[in-house]
A and B are shown apart, each in its own frame.
Chain A
Amino acid sequence: DSGVTQTPKHLITATGQRVTLRCSPRSGDLSVYWYQQSLDQGLQFLIQYYNGEERAKGNILERFSAQQFPDLHSELNLSSLELGDSALYFCASSAFDRDGEQYFGPGTRLTVT
């Protein structure tokens, strides 16, 4: 158990809908990262937040957005969903001075039908 929690574990929704994925980092970790894992694209870095502020951006679509709240939990919002958004979405966290050590949550499996 990495100490990172993600909810929900599974999500099934229809095209065009909007969903919110939630992540709670390890206790004390200030950085949160979001990743997407799919069969065709592999593991892709989406975005990083540090103590509430966006810190780095990867291959995140404009239809997707994220935020980190004062209690350090983070949410990833996916809107206008398409079939190709079906994937595993992972959250990871790291401590203030240990960005090289990321601890991953169990993931949320999103299925868009």
Chain B
Amino acid sequence: GEDVEQSLFLSVREGDSSVINCTYTDSSSTYLYWYKQEPGAGLQLLTYIFSNMDMKQDQRLTVLLNKKDKHLSLRIADTQTGDSAIYFCAESKNTGGFKTIFGAGTRLFVKA
């Protein structure tokens, strides 16, 4: 089956690192993504990783993929109040087209 699970809430202090975790079930997934959604806005693609990669770093963002455990994480270094948002983990695979399954989203709250 296809399912993406993530914890619903995370609270951190400004300046600390945030780690948002996600597990997925489809081992044939091609891409795994992190999206950010701010209140009243659409989803913004933050970063994505191919399933044959273990890690990807992009400025303050680090994505780690453990394919054996089907576990994906997003680390945000030096978390700022502007990082407060909902973060969605998603997986997709190419079946001729791309069908993307999203998690329920993790609400990150950054305390000043």
Q: Is the CB of B98 within 8 A of A106?
A: no
Q: How far is the CA of A4 from the CA of B105 in the complex (A)?
A: 22
Q: Is the CB of A104 within 8 A of B44?
A: yes
Q: Is the CB of B97 within 8 A of A104?
A: no
Q: How large is the interface on B (under 10, 10 to 19, 20 to 34, 35 or more residues)?
A: 20 to 34
Q: How many A-B residue pairs have CB under 8 A?
A: 64
Check B64 for interface membership: any CB of A closer than 8 A: no
Interface of B is mostly: strand
Q: How far is the CA of A92 from the CA of B105 in the complex (A)?
A: 18
Check B27 for interface membership: any CB of A closer than 8 A: no
Q: For B92, what are the chain A residues with a Cβ–Cβ distance below 8 Å?
A: 99-100
Check B96 for interface membership: any CB of A closer than 8 A: yes
Q: How far is the CA of A43 from the CA of B31 in the complex (A)?
A: 17
Closest residue to B31 on the A side, CB-wise? A100
A1 shortest CB reach to chain B, Å: 10
Per-position contact with B for A31-43: 1 when CB-CB < 8 Å, else 0? Answer: 1010100000011
In the complex, 21 of the A-B residue pairs with CB atoms within 8 angstroms, ordered by the A residue number, are A2-B44, A4-B42, A42-B102, A42-B103, A42-B104, A48-B97, A48-B98, A50-B97, A56-B97, A56-B98, A56-B99, A92-B43, A99-B98, A100-B30, A100-B50, A101-B45, A103-B45, A104-B35, A104-B43, A105-B42, A106-B41
- Residue numbers of B with Cβ under 8 A of A are 30-31, 33, 35, 41-45, 48, 50, 88, 92, 94-105
Nearest 5 CB-CB pairs, A to B?
A: A56-B97, A55-B97, A104-B42, A100-B31, A43-B102
